[in-house]
Structure 1
Amino acid sequence: MAADADANAEEGGEVAGGGKRKKLIIIGAGGLVLLLALGAGAYFFLFSSSEPPPMVGEDGAIREAQKPVVFYDLPEMTVNLSTEGRTTYLKVRIALEVQDKEMIERIKPFLPRIMDAFQIYLRELRPADLEGSAGLFRLKEELLRRINLSVHPARVDGVLFKEILVQ
């Protein structure tokens, strides 16, 4: 019987010792997490720069921060679209996006050429060409291509629709 009591005492000691070991592991892990959190906080506060972080695009490429731009409003245009019956009109107001005011001054002398290129292209469109976001995107890209051909060596960065009305 004494042998059984000694065995039970050893098992109880192992359980009690195991409980202390678990407490030490939990306390150690908590301390480690606390030290990591303090280290990360110190790193961000002490080593971060005042510059904004780089922007990452959808394709994973790092992009520069957006630079200020200038917008130039073109005169409103109303053209009749190419249709087989009832006359359909397109009224459009467009703004050009350029990098600075100097570029606007370089573009202004070409304004008659720009308007002519737009009028010729828009008159050949059908109402079906302007349906949906894909149609408007194609229109925007084509107008941008035509304007950059008209104002070369100056450059327009974007064509923005302020108003589009098909009637």
Structure 2
Amino acid sequence: MAEGEQAEGAAEGGEVASAPKGKLKLIIMVVGLFAVLGGGAATYFLFFRHGAEEVHAEAPPPKPPSFVEVPDMMVNLAGAPGERVQYLKVKLVLEVKEEKQVEAIKPSMPRVTDIFQSYLRELRPGDLNGSAGLFRLKEELTKRVNVALAPNQINAVLFKEVIIQ
């Protein structure tokens, strides 16, 4: 009888000892299951779902910009006394967002021409070297014309022709 009782006690003790290992296996299996399901869901949402439900409302096509011609300008560049005189000839166009701005800007063209002439006459030939020089010139002319035409604004000053002689 003692052996039977010990066998029953050992069986109960074995179940108690094996219970934590069984719970640990169960936890590992549950975590693994969630990892597999999470990975599958992430893959679906990142790679497969994009083309199925995306419907974008079509935006109306943007209006093409309008352009305002600026009269051709030819100015002498500033130089040191005794140096050969160099000239700058430019043909410019102003880019505006809408056609109705063109009509608002045209009465102010004498002011724009005066501002451009005044600025261009102060330039030295070295100020216009390379593409960086022309980029700085374009940016400076854009700033100056926007100040002169406020509250109307232009998008950019575009060069049609630049000749340094």
Normalised to the residue count of structure 2, the TM-score between the two structures is 0.64
SS in 1 for 2:78: coil
Q: Deviations over 1:40-66 (max 9, x none)?
A: 3x75155332537xxxxxxxxxxxx96
Match of 1:82 among 78, 81, 98: 78
Aligned residue for 1:159? 157
Cα distance between partner residues in 2 of 1:154 and 1:50: 31
Cα separation, partners in 2 of 1:82 and 1:99, compared to 1, 3 Å: same
Cα separation, partners in 2 of 1:118 and 1:44, compared to 1, 3 Å: same
Match of 2:55 among 45, 48, 61: 48
Structure 2 residue ranges without an equivalent (≥5): 1-39
What is the correspondence of 1:13-162 to structure 2 with a 5 Å cutoff?
40=48, 43-49=50-56, 51=58, 68-84=64-80, 85-162=83-160
Q: Which has the larger radius of gyration?
A: 2
Q: Deviations over 1:101-151 (max 9, x none)?
A: 111111111100000000010011000000012211111111011101111
Identity across the alignment (%): 47
- Matched residue count: 120
Q: Deviations over 1:3-43 (max 9, x none)?
A: xxxxxxxxxxxxxxxxxxxxxxxxxxxxx9xxx6xx83x75
1:87 is displaced (CA, Å) by 1.1
Cα distance between partner residues in 2 of 1:135 and 1:66: 31
Cα distance between partner residues in 2 of 1:164 and 1:66: 30
Structure 1 range deviating more: 91-100 or 66-75: 66-75
